[in-house]
Amino acid sequence: MKKIIALLLFIGLMYSCATKDDVVYFNGMNSTDNAIGLDSYSPTYHVDDELVIIVNALDAEAARPFNKSSVSVSLDILDARGRERIQTYRVDPDGNVNFPVLGKLKLAGLNRSQATTMLQEKLTDYIKDPIVDIETVNYRITVLGEVARPGTFTATNERITLIEALSLAGDLTIYGERENVLVIQDYDGKKTYTRVNLKSDDLFNSPVYYLSQNDVVYVEPNKTRAKNSAIGAQTGVLLSSLGLLISMTALVVTILNARE
């Protein structure tokens, strides 16, 4: 009888337990490990990026022709005033924006610093000491699969990491496959697919550690989720209950034997 109970207990534990290594992140990281060069990352502009570009100068009137006018936007048809919204520039399929006075400018492939410098140099022919500010307003990341809150999220700045994106989605569920997270990127119509192991410190040297605008992160289900899907949710609950019942039975038998 004891052998049977022990066997049943072992089976129950096999179904109900997982090792720490199955769910912990950054397993291979030591305290002396360092990631080099991450702070130098600067995203570049791509086709379909929507940009706000504002030109300022000491002479405000001189800068006015180089700024798009604001438009009144309202979601309430009864609100005649609406709210002011600065018009944006969308990077066209050729990588250009159509800028006032200056005409078409190639921004695709440039980062913010490079684009700002280029614009300032071109504007010096018209304005003294121009100041240029560029902001991406449609910087969005989509996170799908085994996360707590899948969806599309708008980044508050132009540099978001894979870890931050997963955090916005509420982190992986216990059923998320941590060793094979897929990042799908689209560079001007060409898609790339990169697999990332969240349990390895190699993550910090991955080309997709910093995400780009419109990237998609997919967390696939692990083997436990796949098994549960195959046998049905009710069966999974039954097995968990069975494991608990076996554990309690073994405990009762042990107590009774100790009293004899």
pLDDT digits (tens, 9 = 90+) for 105-153: 999 999 999 999 999 999 999 999 999 999 998 889 999 999 999 999 9
**Are residues 114 and 160 both part of a single domain?**
no
**Are residues 180 and 216 both part of a single domain?**
yes
pLDDT exceeds 80 at position 22: no
Flag whether 226 is in a domain: no
**Are residues 211 and 178 both part of a single domain?**
yes
**Are residues 58 and 117 both part of a single domain?**
yes
Name the residue with higher pLDDT: 234 or 94.
94
**Domain enclosing residue 243, as ranges:** 2-20+236-259
Q: What mean pLDDT do residues 185-205 have?
A: 87
Q: What is the 3-state secondary structure (H, E, C) of the chain?
A: CHHHHHHHHHHHHHHHCCCHHHCCCCCCCCCCCCCCCHHHCCCECCCCCEEEEEEECCCHHHHHHHCCCEEEECCCCCCCCCEEEECCEECCCCCEEEECCCEEEECCCCEHHHHHHHHHHHHCCCCCCCEEEEEECCCEEEEEECECCCEEEECCCCCEEHHHHHHHCCCECCCECCCCEEEEEEECCEEEEEEECCCCHHHHHCCCCEECCCCEEEECECHHHHHHHHHCHHHHHHHHHHHHHHHHHHHHHHHHHHHC
pLDDT exceeds 70 at position 40: no
% of the chain surpassing 70 pLDDT: 68
Q: What is the pLDDT of residue 212?
A: 87
pLDDT exceeds 70 at position 83: no
Q: What is the pLDDT of residue 34?
A: 46
**Are residues 163 and 204 both part of a single domain?**
yes
Flag whether 202 is in a domain: yes
**Are residues 126 and 186 both part of a single domain?**
no
Q: What mean pLDDT do residues 73-82 have?
A: 52
**Are residues 106 and 151 both part of a single domain?**
no
State which of 88, 108, 136 marks the end of a domain.
136
Query: pLDDT tier at 247 (50, 70, 90 boundaries)?
Result: confident
**Are residues 170 and 108 both part of a single domain?**
no
Query: pLDDT tier at 202 (50, 70, 90 boundaries)?
Result: confident
State which of 82, 115, 136 marks the end of a domain.
136
**What is the total count of domains within the chain?**
3
State which of 94, 116, 136 marks the end of a domain.
136
pLDDT exceeds 90 at position 240: no
**Are residues 148 and 130 both part of a single domain?**
no
Flag whether 158 is in a domain: yes
**Are residues 123 and 58 both part of a single domain?**
yes
Flag whether 227 is in a domain: no
pLDDT exceeds 70 at position 259: no
What's the mean pLDDT when you consider all of the chain? 80
Flag whether 111 is in a domain: yes
Q: What CATH number is attached to the domain comprising 213? A: 3.10.560.10
